[in-house]
Amino acid sequence: MSLDSSSIELELADEGATARLGEDLALALSAGDCLALHGDLGAGKSTLARAFLRAMADDDDLEVPSPTFTLVQSYALRLPVAHFDLYRLGDASEMAELGLDDALENGIALIEWPERALDDLPGNRISLTFAFTGAGRRVRISGPQQKLQRIQRVLDIRHFLADHGYGEARRRHLTGDASSRAYEYIYPADGDRLILMDAPARPPGPIIADGKTYPQLVHLAENVEPFIAIAGLLKAHGFAAPDIIAEQADIGLLLIEDLGSELIVTSAGQPIEERYRASIACLAELHGQRFERDVDAGGGRRHHIADFDRVAIKTEVSLLLDWYLPSQRGAAASDAERADYNTVWDGLIDALEASEKTLLLRDFHSPNIIWRPQHEGLARIGLIDFQDAMIGPSAYDLASIVQDARVDIPDDLAHKLMDDYLSLRRRDPGFDEQNFLRAWSIMAAQRACKLTGIWVRLAKRDGKPGYMKHMPRTLRYLSTALRHEALLPLREWCAKVGIGATESVSSRP
């Protein structure tokens, strides 16, 4: 296998290797990609196309009829795929009637016998050229460098799996998230399903302040070592975090235990009360413990858990100024507005000095909590996506779940969750409830201010407008947090710039 500036070359020993390449390409391609398959009869084009479509469908029995006579067969899959066979194309001019442009608008085009209409295919297409080599095949993959890099990444993952005894495992798309991480299901020939975490090192971003990028200022994980470290730490303290099966930290790959696929919400995204309340019990147990700061990350590496400090807090809330406020009113925050906002947050951070500090998982909410009904106690709650954990006010994680960013939490359930948590924590004679409730409101407001900016940034900068559906919920959560008397300065600032609504003062949400 080699990658130069224009192509990747692979040796495919048999039909199984060709099918695995099709599976791998299903993980690499994205909407707008055109894949042209060149080669003689029997070279492997149909084998690859069939494997590609079945992987996209996550259905090994998917019927994949040859489109030789119909010329095109369309599939409504994870991404729409149009499978073209141009062998019987009468004239290249007929391409306009087959809907290639429409197929590429939101999906992928897979084209056999592309030679029949090369001039009518996109110039940025990916070409696979098959050739016979004895009993096997050689394939040359060419195309734009950016697309080749995507393909090379999934091939590197296959090589990683092979190095650890899973070279012939089936791979299926699981999910991506708001970061650069992506996940796959790995199905070994025997044994339990596993999960592949693909977390390449973050590329250098723009300097924001003090010679640091945004991830550095807010202490986001820049490689997989924090995940390894925090997973081991949580397990050592009795919590259900995934085992690390294999790792290649230098290129950002982890093969981890699959804790399950049940979440704490219904398939329609509604909260399941029993599961949320069990999650609260787990969180109260976590907050009652103390954690070391320098943690083993394997391979002789150590990970230092950073503080959720003033710089991190203020950098996150600045997203409201930098992204949300301009999008709402069409004008940037004035210097005076920015100065007043920063002054307000300096005061709120000062008020957090006396708050209880412990390990924060940072995103303790529905997408990252696995429900494990076959277990009991703490083991029922599987924890994932904790690589950005820090030490800070324990109230932050309670705000994360009571004001779940992805789920509408009814008021009665929110109150039950708060009451459950407080009842459990009152068993600790050192627990200061009033101080905690003040910290909860500050942390809830901090998280909401951050999220308003993140949703807009994802939509405008990253081309992910779907996250904007969470904005109304986030603004409601902010309004709830602003009820506490400690948030009066922020409530007044928000009213002055036209954000949210002011409500009567309360001592708790």
Q: Which of 139, 155, 171 is the last residue of a domain?
A: 155
Report the candidate in 316, 396, 317, 318 with the shortest Cα–Cα distance to residue 363.
396
β-pair type (136-142, 182-187): unpaired
β-pair type (126-133, 34-38): parallel
Q: Residue 502: its pLDDT value, please?
A: 38
Same domain for 265 and 150, yes or no, is no
Same domain for 131 and 277, yes or no, is no
Spatial distance between the Cα atoms of 109 and 113, rounded to a whole number of angstroms: 13
Q: Residue 357: its pLDDT value, please?
A: 96
* Residue 453, Cβ density class (10 Å: 0-12 exposed, 13-18 middle, ≥19 buried): buried
Spatial distance between the Cα atoms of 467 and 84, rounded to a whole number of angstroms: 33
Q: Residue 504: its pLDDT value, please?
A: 36
Spatial distance between the Cα atoms of 83 and 37, rounded to a whole number of angstroms: 11
CATH number at residue 8: 3.40.50.300
Q: Is 252 left (phi over 0), alpha (psi -120 to 50) or beta?
A: left
3-state secondary structure of 16: helix
Q: What is the CB neighbour count within 10 angstroms for residue 435?
A: 16
Does residue 509 lie within any of the structural domains? no
Q: What is the CB neighbour count within 10 angstroms for residue 203?
A: 8
Does residue 222 lie within any of the structural domains? no
Same domain for 273 and 133, yes or no, is no
Q: Which of 155, 179, 195 is the last residue of a domain?
A: 155
The angle at the Cα of 189, spanning 183 to 195, to the nearest 5 degrees, equals: 15
Q: Which of 140, 155, 170 is the last residue of a domain?
A: 155
End-to-end CA distance of the chain: 58
Spatial distance between the Cα atoms of 80 and 227, rounded to a whole number of angstroms: 34
Does residue 37 lie within any of the structural domains? yes
Does residue 147 lie within any of the structural domains? yes
Q: Residue 136: its pLDDT value, please?
A: 83
Q: Residue 507: its pLDDT value, please?
A: 34
- In tens digits, the chain (509 residues) has pLDDT values of 444 568 999 999 999 999 999 999 999 999 999 999 999 888 899 999 999 999 999 999 999 998 888 899 999 999 999 999 998 887 777 787 888 999 999 999 999 999 989 988 999 999 999 998 877 899 999 999 999 999 999 999 999 999 999 999 999 999 865 557 899 999 999 999 999 999 988 777 889 888 999 999 999 998 999 999 999 999 999 999 999 999 999 999 999 999 999 999 999 999 999 999 999 999 999 999 999 999 999 889 999 999 999 999 999 999 999 999 999 999 999 999 999 999 999 999 999 999 999 999 999 999 999 999 999 999 999 999 999 999 999 999 999 999 999 999 999 999 999 999 999 999 999 999 999 999 999 999 999 999 999 999 999 998 889 999 999 999 999 999 999 999 999 999 999 999 864 333 333 45
3-state secondary structure of 183: strand
Beta carbons of 111 and 72 less than 8 angstroms apart: no
Spatial distance between the Cα atoms of 439 and 486, rounded to a whole number of angstroms: 9
Does residue 503 lie within any of the structural domains? no
* Domain of 476, in residue numbers: 260-497
Does residue 468 lie within any of the structural domains? yes
Spatial distance between the Cα atoms of 188 and 170, rounded to a whole number of angstroms: 7
β-pair type (108-112, 81-85): parallel
Same domain for 120 and 264, yes or no, is no
Q: Residue 1: its pLDDT value, please?
A: 41
CATH number at residue 432: 3.90.1200.10
Bridge partner residues of 136 (DSSP) = 133
Q: Which two tokens stand for residue 490?
A: 């922020």
Residue 228 is inside which H or E element, if any?
Answer: helix 225-236
Spatial distance between the Cα atoms of 430 and 79, rounded to a whole number of angstroms: 53
Q: Residue 41: its pLDDT value, please?
A: 87
3-state secondary structure of 496: helix
Does residue 232 lie within any of the structural domains? no
Same domain for 145 and 266, yes or no, is no
Does residue 276 lie within any of the structural domains? yes
Total of domains in the chain: 2
Same domain for 270 and 395, yes or no, is yes
For residue 321, which amino acid is it?
L
Predicted TM-score of the model (pTM): 0.90
Same domain for 419 and 274, yes or no, is yes
β-pair type (301-304, 390-393): unpaired
3-state secondary structure of 267: coil
